[in-house]
Structures are given as C-alpha cells and as structure tokens.
Structure 1
Amino acid sequence: MASQADPNLGQLLLNRYRLAKLVGQGSMGRVYLAEDQTLDGVPVAAKFLSQALLSEKMKTRFAQEARTGAKLGHRSNHIVRVIDYGVNHADVPFYIMEYMESGGSLSDLIATKPLVLDRFLNLMRQVCLGLQAAHAGIKLDGQLYQVVHRDIKPSNVFIIPDPALGELAKVLDFGIAQFLSDGIEGTQNRSFMGTLAYASPEQIEGQDIDGRSDIYSLGITMFEVLTGRMPVEPATNSIGSWYKAHRSQSPRKFSEVAPHLQLPETLVDLIMGCLEKGPANRPQNMAEILDVLQLLDHPTPVDPSPVREPRVEPALPNQQTPEPVLEPVPEPAAKEKSAHGPATPNPQQLIWSIEGAGWDVQWPADKPIKDIVFPSVLESEHQEAIGLWMMLSRNEIQQRLLNARYNQFLCTMQPHPMILWITTLYDRSLGARWLPCYLDLKHARGRKIANLLSQTGYYPVLFFAREDPEQPANVRTFSIAPDQRVRFQEWLQQSKHALSVDSSMTSKRLLKAELEKNKPKILRKLQLSQGQSIASLFS
C-alpha cells in the first residue's frame, strides 16, 4: 500500500519505533506497521492523525487525550492499548498502539453475512465492557473525566482469536473523533468528525454529549451486525440528510429488514431502546445493556468478575474526585482470565504489566511532597522492573507531556564505584528538566537497580503532581540503548573488584561535574534536533 516515496518509512519515533509499512488510511489519519526497537522488533501500530498541531494549546490537548487512552488500555482488555504518543517534525501527532496481526475488524466480519445470535451476544458483550470502562471515567489531574468514544461503528471494533473466549473484541480510537472535531483553536472552528451513519442526533447537532450518545451508535451497530442493513437511511449522503434521518426517521423493524431472523423479544426491545431519538429514553448506561446481554448469553447465574457502572456524580471544575469504585457484572471467571493474555506473557505484555503497576501506585508516605526524583522497584505478576519516581507541579507535568526524552549513564570506579543516571525532558520553550539519580555499586540496592535496568532495557517514569500525590499524573516508558545494557554488566563486574578509597560523596561530585561539562553538548544536540523529528533524537 505504501510507496517507496513515502517520507515516513524508516523514520524512528521516540528513539524506539521504526516505521516499516503503511497498512491503512482514512479520514482520521494513516496507520503504519512499526517495529519496537526496545523489544527486538516486536510489531506495533503507529497512527498519525490527519491534522498538525498548530498551537501549544492543541499539543497539550492531544497529549491529554493520549494520556487518557493509555490509562484506559490498562483498565480494560476490551480497549486497544495506547502504548506511547508524540509529535513528528511537522507537528503531526501520532499514537503508538498494540498491533493485532491476526483477526480483523467487525465490519470485515459482517461483510459477507450477518452474525448468528450466539456470536453476536459474545462480541457485543465484550464491546459493552470496553465502553463501560471508558464511561466509568478516568481520574486525571484530580478530576474524574467520563470518556465518550464518539465514533462507535463496526470498523472501530477489532476481533482477534483468543484461546478460551474464542474471539476477543477490542474497541479502537477512543478520543480521536472528539480531538479532531475541536478544530484548530476550539469550538468556533469546530467541525463534525465521526461517522454520520452511526452518529446520534445530539452529536450531529454539536451538543455536549455523554455515554448515551455512544449507546445510540451501539444500537445502530447492533442492528447492522444482526441484519447487514442500517436501521435508518437518508435520502442523500449529506450531513443534513443524515441528521434528518437520525432525528426524525423511525428505525426500521427487524421483521421488515430480515423477516427470517428469529430474535428474542428482549433483545429487539434493547436495540430499539438504544435507537431512541432522545438520550433520556435510551438505556442510561452500559450496565443496563450488559444486564440484558448477559441474561441472553448466560441464562444461568455465574460468578462475577468484570465491572459495573459506578454511581459517581460528574466532577465540578477544580473538584478533587476519587477514582470510581467499580461493581461486578456477571461473567464466567475462566473467560475473563483468559482475555487478559496467556499464562506466559510475551515481552510486550511484560512492559504493559509494569506500566499498569506504575499507574496503580501512590506517592510513598516516607517521601516529602516536593520536587524530587528517585528510583524504586515496581512489581507485576510476572516481572519486576525499576521505575523512576518524580514529583513536579501539575502545570509543568501537563506542559511536558510531549517533551523529547533522553537518558545517559556516567560511571566512575574511583574513588568509589558509582553510576550517575540522567533522565532529561526537553522542550524548546521550557528548556531542559534534568532528573539525576546516583547508584552506589557497593550497595546491594544500587547493584540491583543497575542489574534490572540491564535486564529489562527500559524503565517507566512515574510523574506525580504535588497537588495530587495519591496516584501518578502520567506514566511514560523510556528505553535503554542495547550497548548501554551491556555496559551495566561490565560496570557491575568491575565494581566487585574496585576498592573504595574515598567517600561516595566524592564520586558524586566528580560525576556531577562531568554532567555539567556535558550539558552544553547535550543541549546543542537537543536544540538542533528540534528542527528535525522530535522522535529521532539520538538515533
């Protein structure tokens, strides 16, 4: 699909993801197959959005949407994971997402014939679980934000094989339609982004919408998946004609569109309820829909495992809001366990598990609430890794969401074996934020940290805001160059035989002086790179 003239091919994003092949494109952007260099070429998907970020306000907004998507992927296995994000040299934003090599979209699945009832119930229940997790809300910057998809349709649902579920449904592209619809500078230039055939009347009108708009789109999708036809049809393909159809046209009956289709009356009532013109007349949340689908799919009660909509009032501006407490929705325990991956995770899943552990931690009670940085072990079910914990103001964290990332490690064996671990965030306007840590190679803790950095080849940075230290404001993973991983082992071996002839503070002063000497060269390289791809720093 891609030609050799494609300038993006071969580009290295975030010093980690190399673009290999164009695999899809549409109104919202282009999707590339990329290779994760940190994981020896593990495939990922890189999606470039269709518009450049022409202001700092838009960059901040994109980063917030991407951060929300990343956190959603850790909450539900029925949402495609956002692994990373950034902007390229032309200020075009991109997401790095999990790449699903096998399987296809729900629209591909129904291209030849509609789904039979059992398969429909299994897949739609999973779609609803993903939407439920999003509608329940994500706590960011001290507030709870309900996430509305705005573009639910069969092509935004991907189906992959699963050893126990048979098929695993994942929802794509959370937040993208809303971000693109906001235009260059906000609501005055807002244009409709979504898919007219599936959009609710209130969405086409430009109203503020909530999860009930997704429920309308889900109703259209369910009707189409069962019949192969649309419940409303406009006179033309214009936005005005589609709006008239969604606002005024009564949905076609199943008996009219597919007279031989035998459906439970409760399912017909559910889908027609989702297609009500007014949001107040539809099911009010995903829990109501899941109750019906669960009853049809599993008439006999089973042990609970996934989640039910929380009862949480919307957050007011500047209001501190707790993370919602999710109640269970019945689902077979074996199925839910299998949906989270095989018993032995692959390297990509190991990173996801560590990032998930990072999102779940709190600022340590024995650490002061001030701008500091320190390393600490993070543990998941299958792996432990080193995380870099840092605290800044909420405002600076928001401003640095799209910063260039860089790390370097300096070492001295004399007078005391010591490593200086430097992590740098850089922005043309804000300048550099240096995050130094010292690892004493004569202490067990320092040796363990160096060894884990060598073994894993990455470390997540946990950004905590002083104003809200109960959970990270963001989690971003930094990769470590392969040659540096080798040097760690060399330094560890050398330190075993090195004698400490002076205090560790002397080595710290020497390493700090070396860093100060190197800073101008590092900054010049960072500044020059800003005219190129931000992602290609130090490639």
Structure 2
Amino acid sequence: MADPNIGRVLINRYQLVELLGQGAMGRVYGARDVLLGGVPVAVKFLAQTLLNQKMRDRFEREATTCALLGQRSIHIVRVSDYGVDEDEIPFYVMEYLKGQGLSEMIMQKPLTLPKFLGITRHICLGLQTAHQGIPIDGKLYPIVHRDIKPSNILICQDDSFGEIAKILDFGIAKTLQEDSDQTNCFMGTLAYSSPEQMEGKELDARSDIYSLGVMMYQMVTGKMPLNAETHTFGGWYRAHHYQAPHPFSEVNASVRVPKALENLVMRCLSKEPGNRPQTVVDVLRSLEPFDQRFNSGLELSQRIGSTLAKVGISKESKQKTPAAVTPDDVCKLAAWPANKPIGEISFPNAIRTSQGLLATLWVMLTDPEIQKRQQCSRYNQFLFAPAPHPTVLWITVLFNQQHGPRWLYSYLDLKASQGQQMARLLSENGQYRVLMFSKENPKECSNVLTVSIAAAQCRQLQEWVSMAQVSPQTNQFGLSKSFLKKELDVIKPQILMKLEDLYDMPT
C-alpha cells in the first residue's frame, strides 16, 4: 500500500519524498525544503500511538535539545524547525544525513586503530558539548544522553570535511536541573546501560562514559565486553554489576592495540562511577597520545586540508615550460578596477587566460589582514533561493587558528547573464581564485589563493542555473538576497564549528 504521506507538503515548506525509517517513537521521512531550492532534510513525526501530553512534551524536548546542541557541535544531529501538522501530529525537521550506522560498520569487522581513534574522538566531542549543557533560564544544565550505542551513531561523509561521526536520538536524554526529580525507573538499552542506570539512580556524565566504554570495546574487538545469561533485565543487571570484561586478546586474538589504550577502555567500564574517567575531556586527553602516534589526526587533517583547497600542482602545470603564463600569473597582473570603491569589499569577476575564462573573487583588505591570511584553510559553500528571484549566495571563509575566520560573500543573480556565466564557470572548473588587493596599494594584486569546490556543489550549481532559466522574471533580487543573508546567519556557527573542530583539542 502506498504511503499517503509521500508528496505531502508541511507548512508550505517541506515536501515529504520517502520513508527513511520507523521505530517505537515514530517515523522519519526524507524531504525537500522547497523554500531553499529543494535542499534535502529529514522530518521526524511522533507516532500516533504516543499522542498523549507526556510524550508530546518529551518529543518537543528532544527537538529543543538537538536544536540547541546541534548549533554548538557538528557531531550532534542538527534540528532546524519544529511544528504540528494539520492532524495535530508534532514533527521536527533535522539535517538530512546519508551514511553508515556504526552498528553496521562493527558487524562487518572490528575497526582499524586509526578509524577507531577518529570516530571515538568525534563521539567524545559531541558528548562533551551535551555534558556542558544547554541554556535554560540563563543557566547551563548538563545533558546526559542515556542511550549511547552504535545504532545511535551515524558515520557520514561531509562534502568539505570527509568522514564525520554524529550522535543521534536524544529521545530519552535527561536534563540535569537542580530542582528537577530524577527518574526512578530504567530507561535505555540493556546491553549498553551503566550499573547505576540499571538501578534507576540519579545519573551524570559518567553513565554515558560507561556506555561509551561498551561501544569502544566493541569497536576494537568486534565483540561485546559483557554477555548476559538471558536477554532480560535481570540477566543484564547481573552482567553489568558482577561480570568482568575479558582482555581484548581473549575475545579476539587478532587484536593488536597498546596496553594503555586497552586500560582506558577498561577504566570506562568500571562498575563504580568514581573509578571511570570523570569527564569525556579526560577520555580525549587519554586518546591524544595514540592519535599522534598512529597519525589518525594527521590523516584527517590532510584529507580535510586537501578538500579545503590546498590544491597541488596538476600534471599539466608541471609540464609547462618556464616561459608559460599560468592563470595565477594572469591574476597577479590584475589591478583594482577604477569603478570600484577603495574599501573592504568583494565581488565576482571572470578573467580571460590562455586556458579560457577563469572564475575569480576579488577582495580588498588592509595590508595586515592580508598578511594574516597568507597561510589559511579555505572553505566554501553555496546557498540557493529559487524564489521570489533565483539567487545564489557564494560564501568563502579564510580561516587559521591564530586569527580566526574572514568571511567573504557575494550574490549571483541567476536571471542575469553575468550571474549565470559565473555559476557555470564555478561548476565546470571545480575551483576559483581569490585575488587579494591591499587598501594601501590597490594597483597590484597582493596574493592569489586557489579554492576548490566539492563535486556535489558543482552539480548543484548546474541544476540551479537550469532552474533559473525557466523561472519567471521578477524584480525581487533584493528580497532573495535578504532571505539568503538570514540563512547565512543561521549556518555561520555550523561552518565555524567545522573549521574550529580541526584545531580544538582539550588542554
């Protein structure tokens, strides 16, 4: 029987496309945000069998928790909207994530040590944000997830940053408020619950660290650290309270990890909370020497660095004779246009080289600011508003650890030939140059940076140009610009978190 929800449009914005999954709490659909040019999102509905006030409140609390945490960590699924449909069924909208569940990954085979270290670090960074808390009435209250397990971790590919682990499902998370009563009943997943969670005791971050320990053991060995005699509450209660985890080598003879790393996992699995690492920051500090030794951090940085446009020299440019004029040579000969003001502005421009037209972004900054950006990571993203006037917001961020971000952005009018030409050049070339001019000496280009564009964004640019060609002509370019500026303000913290996450390690 066909799903009657497919094709529905919620609050004149989210069109449901496919059913992604369903569970006890409800259904999750893949959808398109029609106001943002069909950007994919996911929509979660509360199950109709749970439409009592208590479950409505919990569902809304889950949405609020993820919205607040997702704005502060790229390792927690981000919620962007909440609403109620025409049948009074609540739903919330979150980022659309494509990837592989950690549970599926572990079932195939144990993780390599570099992969284990990278994923564990991401999970810890997400938990660190949750444990630091969300603001309620001007105060921060910690969040305990209470259901950390492989099926609640998704490993997805980010267009700009490669492999990223995301924590899902804060449906039974607990906000630790001073004046709130802790639950005295068990909630969680039996195999991953801490001893104190099985007892219905008051929980803190150390309970999540125990669940993390179960998962870490499983990631390294492919086996569970504990095995209950029966898959019942009583069976798992005895296992978590009285059974000791076996050494790695006894459950999987092929596992080769440093003894200190095994000891860390065993400490996370301590029966007494006081014997575990007291915070996930402690876990991160313990992992740092292994990260450095086994190069997982270096490997990730190199992958991210290449994506962020540390573009190597192509074979073609290597083969050029010394006399050949490269596109960068042409860029360096450029002078600031006489019809542009002397000020800190940026604008797109197409310049002709021996290899054809080149997409460039011209930027004027002060001399000191240009010096700060001599060595930097480069990030780019494109946002599209199909209506009321088809417009692209072209975002470039120049970032380094010492000086932070420098935001550059420009608007492309896709009903104008110049805007369409620039969008095509960007999509066809898969890269562009940033030409930096000094306010103090605008007659010559001070520096040229190359920025690469992810293949998925190139395809999007091509699709947007095609859509714009068949859309009606309007005089509302300014309205679309205002809408995209608001969207930029929303995603700015997310972009910044992605960039800062490369460098942020606990000290």
Q: Which residue of 2 aligns with 1:454?
A: 480
1:47/1:235 Cα in 2 relative to 1: closer, same or farther (>3 Å)? same
Q: Which residue of 1 aligns with 2:172?
A: 177
1:42 aligns with 2:36: no
Q: Matches of residues 270-349 of structure 1 in structure 2 within 5 Å?
A: 270-299=264-293, 335=304, 343-347=379-383
Residue number among 14, 24, 30 corresponding to 1:33 in the alignment = 30
Q: Could you tell me how far 1:128 is from its partner in structure 2? A: 0.9
Q: Matches of residues 121-132 of structure 1 in structure 2 within 5 Å?
A: 121-132=117-128
Q: Could you tell me how far 1:113 is from its partner in structure 2? A: 0.8
1:8 aligns with 2:5: yes
1:37/1:269 Cα in 2 relative to 1: closer, same or farther (>3 Å)? same
1:89/1:46 Cα in 2 relative to 1: closer, same or farther (>3 Å)? same
Q: Could you tell me how far 1:192 is from its partner in structure 2? A: 4.2
1:147/1:335 Cα in 2 relative to 1: closer, same or farther (>3 Å)? farther
1:23/1:162 Cα in 2 relative to 1: closer, same or farther (>3 Å)? closer
Q: Which residue of 2 aligns with 1:395?
A: none
- Are 2:123 and 2:166, in contact at CA under 8 Å, matched by a contact in 1? yes
Letter in 2 for 1:268: E
SS at match of 2:45: strand
Give the Cα separation in 2 of the matches to 1:189 and 1:209.
Answer: 9
Q: What TM-score do you get using the length of structure 1 for normalisation?
A: 0.55
Residue number among 89, 114, 120 corresponding to 1:118 in the alignment = 114
Residue number among 404, 407, 413 corresponding to 1:381 in the alignment = 407
Q: Which residue of 1 aligns with 2:84?
A: 87
Q: Could you tell me how far 1:120 is from its partner in structure 2? A: 0.7
Residue number among 44, 50, 53 corresponding to 1:52 in the alignment = 50
Q: What TM-score do you get using the length of structure 2 for normalisation?
A: 0.58
Letter in 2 for 1:455: K
Letter in 2 for 1:201: P
Q: Could you tell me how far 1:254 is from its partner in structure 2? A: 0.8
Q: Could you list the per-position Cα deviations for residues 278-320 of structure 1 after superposition, in whole angstroms to 9, with x for gaps in the alignment?
A: 211110001111012111011499999xxxxxxxxxxxxxxxx
Q: Could you tell me how far 1:47 is from its partner in structure 2? A: 1.8
Give the Cα separation in 2 of the matches to 1:41 and 1:236.
Answer: 48
Q: Could you tell me how far 1:352 is from its partner in structure 2? A: 13
Q: Matches of residues 49-448 of structure 1 in structure 2 within 5 Å?
A: 49-50=46-47, 52-55=50-53, 59-60=56-57, 62-101=59-98, 103-162=99-158, 166-173=162-169, 175-178=170-173, 192-299=186-293, 335=304, 343-347=379-383, 381=407
Q: Matches of residues 508-519 of structure 1 in structure 2 within 5 Å?
A: none
Q: Could you list the per-position Cα deviations for residues 116-172 of structure 1 after superposition, in whole angstroms to 9, with x for gaps in the alignment?
A: 111111111111111111111122321211111111111111112346754211111
Letter in 2 for 1:154: P
Q: Could you tell me how far 1:459 is from its partner in structure 2? A: 8.2
Give the Cα separation in 1 of the matches to 2:199 and 2:379.
Answer: 47
Q: Which residue of 2 aligns with 1:391?
A: none
Give the Cα separation in 1 of the matches to 2:249 and 2:392.
Answer: 49
Q: Matches of residues 458-497 of structure 1 in structure 2 within 5 Å?
A: none
* Unaligned stretches of 5+ residues in structure 2: 309-376, 386-390, 396-404, 412-475, 494-507
- Are 2:382 and 2:392, in contact at CA under 8 Å, matched by a contact in 1? no
Identity %: 46
1:272/1:348 Cα in 2 relative to 1: closer, same or farther (>3 Å)? farther
Q: Could you tell me how far 1:98 is from its partner in structure 2? A: 0.9
Q: Which residue of 1 aligns with 2:430?
A: none
- Are 1:52 and 1:91, in contact at CA under 8 Å, matched by a contact in 2? no
- Are 1:24 and 1:30, in contact at CA under 8 Å, matched by a contact in 2? yes
Q: Which residue of 2 aligns with 1:314?
A: none
- Are 1:52 and 1:90, in contact at CA under 8 Å, matched by a contact in 2? no
SS at match of 1:161: strand
Q: Could you list the per-position Cα deviations for residues 228-255 of structure 1 after superposition, in whole angstroms to 9, with x for gaps in the alignment?
A: 1100111111122112211221112212
Letter in 1 for 2:255: L
- Are 1:236 and 1:242, in contact at CA under 8 Å, matched by a contact in 2? yes
Q: Could you list the per-position Cα deviations for residues 58-91 of structure 1 after superposition, in whole angstroms to 9, with x for gaps in the alignment?
A: 6455434422211211211111211212233454
- Are 2:79 and 2:95, in contact at CA under 8 Å, matched by a contact in 1? yes
1:336/1:92 Cα in 2 relative to 1: closer, same or farther (>3 Å)? farther
- Are 2:393 and 2:410, in contact at CA under 8 Å, matched by a contact in 1? no
Q: Could you tell me how far 1:334 is from its partner in structure 2? A: 8.6
Give the Cα separation in 1 of the matches to 2:393 and 2:107.
Answer: 33
Q: Which residue of 2 aligns with 1:22?
A: 19
Give the Cα separation in 2 of the matches to 1:267 and 1:139.
Answer: 35
Q: CA RMSD in A?
A: 4.0
1:189/1:292 Cα in 2 relative to 1: closer, same or farther (>3 Å)? closer
1:279/1:383 Cα in 2 relative to 1: closer, same or farther (>3 Å)? farther
- Are 1:53 and 1:91, in contact at CA under 8 Å, matched by a contact in 2? no
1:58/1:136 Cα in 2 relative to 1: closer, same or farther (>3 Å)? same
Q: Could you tell me how far 1:36 is from its partner in structure 2? A: 0.7
RCO higher in 1 or 2 (8 Å CA, sep ≥ 6)? 1
Q: Could you tell me how far 1:353 is from its partner in structure 2? A: 13
Give the Cα separation in 2 of the matches to 1:156 and 1:336.
Answer: 28
- Are 2:46 and 2:59, in contact at CA under 8 Å, matched by a contact in 1? no
- Are 1:107 and 1:155, in contact at CA under 8 Å, matched by a contact in 2? yes
Q: Could you tell me how far 1:11 is from its partner in structure 2? A: 2.7
Give the Cα separation in 2 of the matches to 1:108 and 1:197.
Answer: 17
Give the Cα separation in 2 of the matches to 1:202 and 1:301.
Answer: 36
Give the Cα separation in 2 of the matches to 1:282 and 1:109.
Answer: 27
